[in-house]
Amino acid sequence: MSQPHQPVAGGKPGSPLLKSLLPLIVDAGIPIASYYVLSDGFGLGTVAALGWSSVVPALRTVWGLVRSRAVNGLALLMLVVNVVGLATSVVAGDARLMMAKDSAVSSTVGIAILLSLRSRRPLMTAGLKPWVTKGSPAGNAAWDRLLASSERFRRAERRFSAIWGGTLLTECVLKVIGAYTLPVHTMVWLGTVLTVVAILLAMVIAGGSCAEPMEKMIKAEIEREAGAASGAAGAAAAGASGAAVGSAG
């Protein structure tokens, strides 16, 4: 007799959170990870690693256009970032220019995020929503209701992307300034430090000022909806009981 499938540690198969995070993993996580695996693990050159890591976002972008005639924003962003990386990788000769060109990735991502603020769904929402809603159906439904009815909620969503976009652009500017004003051997390690600090800073600021308040609003909305449903069920039961008593009398 076969044994039932046991859930893996940390979550069960098909969990809502995993399903919510899957597009983020496929569109951003796989391309980024594949680039480092191909370049560091297999020793491929920058051009080859960027080219092969562009396959998944390219296929996802084309598939989105064919299936639903809509652009997959995150997959398209990763594709554009890789194209920019391919274009700037041909720069050679000047060590300072080589370091400055690395900021092209940050600037491309930052500009794309800021431009997406004018759309109905800012780019950073893909990563924000699963963590705020915990991937639960009730959380996702509460998100949709708040997005439609709460201006405060919508402002927090846009502010989250604005913080990330602004931070990445600032990192880009600092890298360019450092590349041309500081010794080359200093910028070799300082460039990485600036990237790490920018990411941590964006996480702290955006998390505290946007994600946490949004999570509280989601929780309150879920409780409000549950209370309304409970009240409606109680009223219906009371009405049915009253009708039964009246019929018996």
Check residue 19 and give its pLDDT.
61
The verdict on 44 and 67 lying in the same domain is yes
The verdict on 141 and 205 lying in the same domain is yes
Enclosing domain of residue 205: 93-231
The verdict on 109 and 216 lying in the same domain is yes
Residue 111 belongs to a domain: yes
Low-confidence ranges of the chain (pLDDT < 50): 1-14
With vertex at residue 30, the alpha carbon angle to CA 202 and CA 99, rounded to the nearest 5 degrees, is 55
Check residue 153 and give its pLDDT.
96
Check residue 123 and give its pLDDT.
86
The verdict on 103 and 221 lying in the same domain is yes
Check residue 195 and give its pLDDT.
80
The verdict on 59 and 78 lying in the same domain is yes
pLDDT tens, residue by residue, 16-67: 656 656 666 776 677 777 877 877 677 777 667 777 877 877 787 777 777 7
Of 90, 109, 132, the residue at which a domain comes to its end is: 90
The verdict on 201 and 168 lying in the same domain is yes
245 Cβ neighbours under 8 A, 6+ residues apart = none
The verdict on 59 and 123 lying in the same domain is no
The verdict on 65 and 105 lying in the same domain is no
Residue 21 contacts residue 135 (beta carbons within 8 Å): yes
The verdict on 73 and 185 lying in the same domain is no
Quote helix, strand, coil % in the chain, to nearest 5: 80, 0, 20
The verdict on 99 and 117 lying in the same domain is yes
The verdict on 153 and 225 lying in the same domain is yes
Residue 39 belongs to a domain: yes
Check residue 154 and give its pLDDT.
95
Residue 236 belongs to a domain: no
Task: Using alpha carbons, list the distances in angstroms from residue 44 to 41, 54, 69, 98, 211.
Answer: 8, 14, 35, 18, 38
The verdict on 115 and 209 lying in the same domain is yes
Of 59, 90, 121, the residue at which a domain comes to its end is: 90
The number of folded domains in the chain is 2
Percent of the chain with pLDDT over 70: 69
